[in-house]
Homo-oligomer: A and B are copies of this chain.
Amino acid sequence: MAERKPDPSEGRAAARLGLLASLDTGELRALDETLEFRQQIAAHHMILEEGCRVSSPSIIVSGWACRTRIFLDGRRQILSLLVPGDLIGVCRQSDPIAATGAVALTDVILCPAPKPEHPGRGLSEAYARSGALEEFYLFRQIARLGRMSAYERIADLFLEIGERLSAVTHGPRDHFPFPLTQETMADLLGLTSVHVNRMLQLFRRQELIEVRSGTVHIRDLGALVNLVEHRCAIVSGA
């Protein structure tokens, strides 16, 4: 749809599916070929309209997006974050209606997700695992919003993003691009941008996290993990 500059890392995102299940050569080729049909979406544009039929499932090749819910009085909550390698619009039922809208947070490149051929393995299994992972992060988001302080929410978010990005890029977990504004972080974490700003300053003063010009640098990953896991670590129980 739009002009594009080549980007060598684009193959990575689609390759993520290969990390989730073992794909045969036919499926790998299908993933490769699907890159031909990529589509660019400008920042702030809708990817998916809430309540509409889902057109076709896609893979985020590059850029960040999110699922949002907007209240009538203007409040906005970001329900989940979508980063390269994530799927969007994959529905398992036959009558797919989007439960939430999705918006591009940066410029995003999507490519269509190939139809799985063998039920129960290969691509089909990869999509299922991807869905399970998405659900896992929804649970994490609920625990974050319900029972963590602003300070903890931010720490936990950065740890999650570090994990998710490094799983795709094989880069470090403590140093990664972060294109969200503080306003966007606030909408994701159920806070105000002013408060996010103050907490980020606190992290900086403590030399735990450095956020600058679109990049997060976790200075002391161990301390941060302790901080979150120590009190928040996720344990089931009665």
Tell whether A145 is near chain B: CB-to-CB under 8 Å: yes
Tell whether A57 is near chain B: CB-to-CB under 8 Å: no
Q: Quick check: A145 and B236 within 8 Å, CB to CB?
A: no
Q: Quick check: B92 and A45 within 8 Å, CB to CB?
A: no
Query: In which size bucket is the chain A interface?
Result: 35 or more
Of B51, B80, B121, which one neighbours A236 at CB under 8 angstroms?
Answer: B51
Q: Quick check: B128 and A79 within 8 Å, CB to CB?
A: no
Q: How far is the CA of A45 from the CA of B237 in the complex (A)?
A: 9
Of B70, B91, B138, which one neighbours A235 at CB under 8 angstroms?
Answer: B70
Contacts of A45 in B (CB 8 A): 238
Tell whether A40 is near chain B: CB-to-CB under 8 Å: no
Tell whether A160 is near chain B: CB-to-CB under 8 Å: no
Q: How far is the CA of A92 from the CA of B126 in the complex (A)?
A: 11
Q: Quick check: B190 and A145 within 8 Å, CB to CB?
A: yes
Tell whether A46 is near chain B: CB-to-CB under 8 Å: yes
Q: Please report A residues at the B interface, Cβ cutoff 8 Å.
A: 44-46, 49-51, 67-73, 75-80, 91-94, 99-101, 103, 119-121, 125, 128-129, 131-132, 135-136, 138-139, 141-143, 145-147, 189-190, 229-238
Between A and B, 26 residue pairs with Cβ closer than 8 Å are: A44-B238, A46-B236, A50-B234, A69-B139, A69-B142, A69-B236, A71-B234, A72-B235, A75-B147, A75-B231, A75-B232, A77-B142, A77-B143, A78-B146, A79-B142, A92-B92, A93-B128, A93-B132, A94-B125, A99-B135, A99-B136, A101-B237, A138-B139, A138-B142, A141-B142, A142-B145
